[in-house]
C-alpha cells in the first residue's frame, strides 16, 4: 500500500533535479510528506563529480534514493516499486527510447498509484496528432489513451512547450550565435512556447499541491510564447547584433529528415516547423491565471547570455 503523502520522481536530470528541489521546498511546511527519486544504481554509485554532487544534494534534502532502471526493468517490476507511492511524477524524457513511456504508464496503473504525472512536459500532442515527423509523439498519445480509458488512477498532464534553453542549443540550429543567424522553423510568424526547467519544476509543484485538487486534466504552462520574428528581434536588441535571418520551410525540412530518418533533431525541427500544438496564449496558462511569475525569453537571455557573455558568446562580434 502507498503512503498517503509519498511522492516518487522518476529521474534526476535537469528537470528531475528542479522538480525534486521544488517539491522538497513546498513539502517542508506540510508534515509527513516524503519525497523519493528513482535513479539507476550506476547513477547512485557514480564516481562522476557532477553526478556525485547531485546525489549529495538529494541526500542533504532528505530525499530517499530508490534504485531502478526504467528501460531495463519489466512492467511488473516497476509496478512493485511504484506501488509504494501515492504520486508518481515522470521526469525521464525520451532517453529510454521507444516503448518506455507506455511501459511506465501501464506500470503506474498496475500499481494502483493514486496520481500519475506522465512525461508530457512538452507540446500539445492532441493537437499535433498521430503520424507527425517525430514518431515518439505517437507514443505520447498512446499514454494519454491509456490514462483516459481508466478511472482508478488520477492523472495530470503538464504541457510546457519547449525548454527555453533548447531554442539556443547549437545542435537544434534555431539560434546560431556563432554565425549570427536565426533560422525560423516553417515561417517567421510561427509561434513557439518556451518554459525553463526551473519554472516547470516550481509550477508543477504548485499543481501537485493545488486546491481544489487538479484531476484528470491537461494543464498549460508558459514562460513565454514568441514568434520566430520576435525571437530574432530580441536576439538583435539584447545582444546588439544584426542577425542573418533564414526561413527553413517544411518541405525542405521533411526532405532532410527523409534523407536522415533517425536524426532526432531533424524530427523536432520538422514538427515545430508545422506550427501545430507547439504554442499557446500565455494569458490562458496556469501560471498566468494564478499570477505566478515565470522566466520569459528576455529574462532567460539576460541571465544566461548577457550575464555570462564571455562563456556563452565566444565568437560573436558586435555590429
How many C-alpha atoms does 309 have within 13 Å on its Cβ side? Answer: 9
Please list the pLDDT of the chain residue by residue as tens digits (319 residues): 445 589 999 999 999 999 999 999 988 655 589 999 999 999 999 999 999 999 999 999 999 999 999 999 999 999 999 999 999 999 998 877 889 999 999 999 999 999 999 999 999 999 999 999 999 999 999 999 999 999 999 999 999 999 999 999 999 999 999 999 999 999 999 999 999 999 999 999 999 999 999 999 999 999 999 999 999 999 999 999 999 999 999 999 999 999 999 999 999 999 999 999 999 999 999 999 999 999 999 999 999 998 765 434 434 333 3
What's the grid cell of residue 53? 554532487
Q: Tell me the C-alpha to C-alpha distance, in Å, between residue 60 and each of 24, 65, 67.
A: 11, 11, 18
Say how far apart CA 171 and CA 231 lie, in whole Å: 17
pLDDT reported for residue 93: 87
Domain extents in the chain: 3-163+194-220, 165-192+225-276+295-312
E strands of 196-268, at which residues? Answer: 217-220, 224-227, 244-248
Quote the pLDDT of residue 3: 55
The contacts of residue 144 (CB under 8 Å, 6+ apart) are: 120, 125, 126, 157
Give 97-104's long-range contacts (Cβ < 8 A, gap of 24+): 97/71, 98/135, 98/136, 98/139, 99/139, 100/70, 100/71, 101/139, 101/140, 101/142, 101/143, 102/139, 102/142, 102/143, 102/146, 103/70, 103/75, 103/78, 104/10, 104/70, 104/78
Amino acid 296: pLDDT: 98
Integer Cα distance of 198 and 215 in angstroms:
23
Is residue 69 reached through a cis peptide bond, with omega within 30 degrees of 0 on the bond before it? no
What is the C-alpha to C-alpha distance for residues 135 and 139, in angstroms, rounded to an integer?
A: 8
**Non-local CB neighbours of 210 within 8 Å, separated by 6+ positions:** none
Helix (H, G, I), strand (E, B) or coil at 194: strand
- Which homologous superfamily does the CATH classification assign to the domain defined by 3-163+194-220? NAD(P)-binding Rossmann-like Domain (3.40.50.720)
Please report the pLDDT score of residue 5 as a whole number.
87
Tell me what pLDDT residue 49 has: 94
The predicted structure's pLDDT at residue 95 = 74
Q: What is the pLDDT of residue 94?
A: 84
Rounded CA gap, 177 and 105, in Å?
A: 39
Q: Which of 124, 164, 128, 108 is nearest to 294 (CA)?
A: 164
Amino acid at each position: 500500500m502507498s503512503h498517503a503523502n509519498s511522492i516518487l520522481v522518476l529521474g534526476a536530470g535537469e528537470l528531475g533535479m528542479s522538480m525534486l528541489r521544488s517539491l522538497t521546498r513546498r513539502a517542508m511546511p506540510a508534515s509527513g510528506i516524503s519525497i523519493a527519486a528513482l535513479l539507476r544504481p550506476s547513477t547512485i554509485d557514480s564516481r562522476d563529480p557532477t553526478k556525485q554532487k547531485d546525489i549529495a544534494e538529494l541526500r542533504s534534502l532528505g530525499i530517499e534514493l530508490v534504485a531502478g532502471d526504467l528501460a531495463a526493468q519489466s512492467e511488473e517490476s516497476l509496478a512493485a516499486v511504484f506501488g509504494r507511492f501515492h504520486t508518481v511524477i515522470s521526469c525521464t524524457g525520451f532517453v529510454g527510447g521507444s516503448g518506455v513511456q507506455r511501459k511506465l504508464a501501464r506500470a503506474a496503473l498496475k500499481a494502483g498509484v493514486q496520481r500519475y504525472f506522465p512525461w508530457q512536459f512538452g507540446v500539445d500532442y492532441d493537437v499535433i496528432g498521430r503520424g507527425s515527423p517525430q514518431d515518439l509523439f505517437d507514443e505520447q498519445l498512446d499514454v494519454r489513451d491509456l490514462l483516459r480509458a481508466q478511472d482508478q488512477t488520477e492523472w495530470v498532464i503538464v504541457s510546457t512547450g519547449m525548454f527555453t534553453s533548447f531554442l539556443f542549443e547549437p545542435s537544434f540550429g534555431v539560434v546560431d550565435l556563432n554565425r549570427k543567424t536565426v533560422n525560423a522553423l516553417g515561417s517567421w510568424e510561427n509561434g513557439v512556447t518556451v518554459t525553463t526547467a526551473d519554472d516547470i519544476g516550481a509550477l508543477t509543484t504548485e499543481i501537485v499541491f493545488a486546491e481544489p485538487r487538479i484531476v484528470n486534466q491537461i494543464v498549460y504552462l508558459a514562460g513565454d510564447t514568441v514568434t520566430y520574428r520576435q525571437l530574432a528581434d530580441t536576439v538583435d536588441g539584447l545582444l546588439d547584433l544584426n542577425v542573418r535571418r533564414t526561413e527553413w520551410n517544411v518541405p525542405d525540412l521533411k526532405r532532410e529528415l527523409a534523407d536522415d530518418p533517425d536524426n532526432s533533431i531533424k524530427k523536432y525541427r520538422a514538427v515545430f516547423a508545422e506550427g501545430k500544438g507547439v504554442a499557446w496564449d500565455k494569458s490562458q496558462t496556469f501560471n498566468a491565471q494564478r499570477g505566478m511569475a515565470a522566466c520569459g525569453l528576455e529574462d532567460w537571455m539576460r541571465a544566461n547570455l548577457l550575464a555570462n557573455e564571455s562563456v556563452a558568446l565566444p565568437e560573436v562580434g558586435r555590429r
